[in-house]
A = this chain, B = another copy of it.
């Protein structure tokens, strides 16, 4: 529980952030207990706000969960490095990739809620939480496309024409490898050195580009 339930009414400055406190508590619980394990009772206990406040801000549990995914994504994307390429940047692909990835993997430890919740929604195949699940998938696709575009921007026009799908293939490898690293982190934080991970991914990409 973040804070004891006060008997006196909450002051004004607290009220303004009540919605955020509910979202934060729900995100933590969802990342620990999954969708069905996120009960309103648990949210009220951790947020210190009553159930009536939860239902004041959110229509029902489904909408709360959808907002949790959206909110935790915003925090996650804010911590992510930009997959944008400065046209003046003349560094080789491998060097730029290493720079972005080593910043990216560090966010796995700091803001894991979004990925944890998202992965749970992927694994659970019920249709109930369709809204939250669809939002996560759309976000994931957007990230893949951004990474693919970043790769393609490094290719010459000849390679782009001959292997138009190469950028997306590489993006898929990066995403899948990040998923694997993230899962390993959930088991044991020290199980795998993130720098080793970056080296492995850069090596794959270099090989694939050289082969094409």
Contacts and interface: CB of A to CB of B under 8 A. Distances in A.
A169 B191 CA distance: 10
Given A33-B126, A124-B120, A183 B187 contact: no
A120 B181 CA distance: 16
A83 B122 CA distance: 29
B204 A34 contact: no
A207 to B, nearest CB: 5
Taken together, the copies of this chain in the complex come to 2
A200 interface: yes
B207 A125 contact: no
A137 to B, nearest CB: 7
B184 A172 contact: yes
A180 interface: yes
Contacts of A122: 183, 186-187
B183 A176 contact: yes
Nearest to A179: B180
Given A119-B183, A175-B184, A207-B207, 16 more contacts: A32-B125, A33-B124, A33-B126, A34-B120, A35-B37, A36-B37, A37-B126, A122-B183, A122-B186, A123-B123, A137-B187, A169-B196, A176-B184, A177-B177, A178-B180, A200-B204
9 contacts: A33-B124, A34-B37, A119-B119, A172-B192, A176-B184, A177-B180, A179-B180, A180-B180, A204-B204
A-B pairs with the 4 shortest C-beta distances?
A: A176-B180, A36-B36, A180-B180, A36-B37
